[in-house]
Amino acid sequence: MDSIGIWLSPLLLIPGIGMLVSSTSARFSQIHNEIHHLINNQNEHTKEILQHLFRRSKMFRNALVCLYCAIGVLVVSGLIGGIMSAYEADKTWIIILTCAGIIFLFVATVILILESFLSLKIIEEHVEDFIKKL
């Protein structure tokens, strides 16, 4: 790979990660609204649902932190790559930092997958509660 490709490659991942950050932030905000709704409209399942929402909140926070770390590491990788390319230095650190950024991205993806399973559990509890009221 040529010297431009080495330092530019990590930067090409950032727009995709930015889209994940945007959607995750929106879903995180939605939990905030749902918590307020549950607090104002309590029923016999409120405590259980709030516990699940709190777990989801922590997962979203962890995923966002990993996504932000991925962006930071990839930006640093691109910066170091650009500097090293100017001096024709060894490119090992660029590869290591790019891999670290991809690992953060992978961890965030796993957290978001786990959150989606928990989200389904909350929906099931809402539906069961609604059916009991009928």
**What does residue 88 show for φ and ψ, rounded to 5 degrees?**
55, 40
What is the percent of the chain where pLDDT is above 90?
13
Task: Give Cα 52 distance to the centre of its chain.
Answer: 18
Mean pLDDT, the chain, rounded, equals: 83
Please state whether the predicted TM-score (pTM) of the whole model is above 0.75. Answer: no
Tokens 């966002």 locate to: 64
The pLDDT tens digits for 43-93 are: 887 888 888 888 888 888 889 999 999 998 888 888 887 777 777 767 777
Q: What span, in angstroms and rounded, lies between the C-alpha atoms of 3 and 9?
A: 10
User: What is the count of structural domains for the chain?
Assistant: 1
Residue-number span of the structural domain to which 80 is assigned: 3-133
The pLDDT tens digits for 104-118 are: 988 988 998 888 888
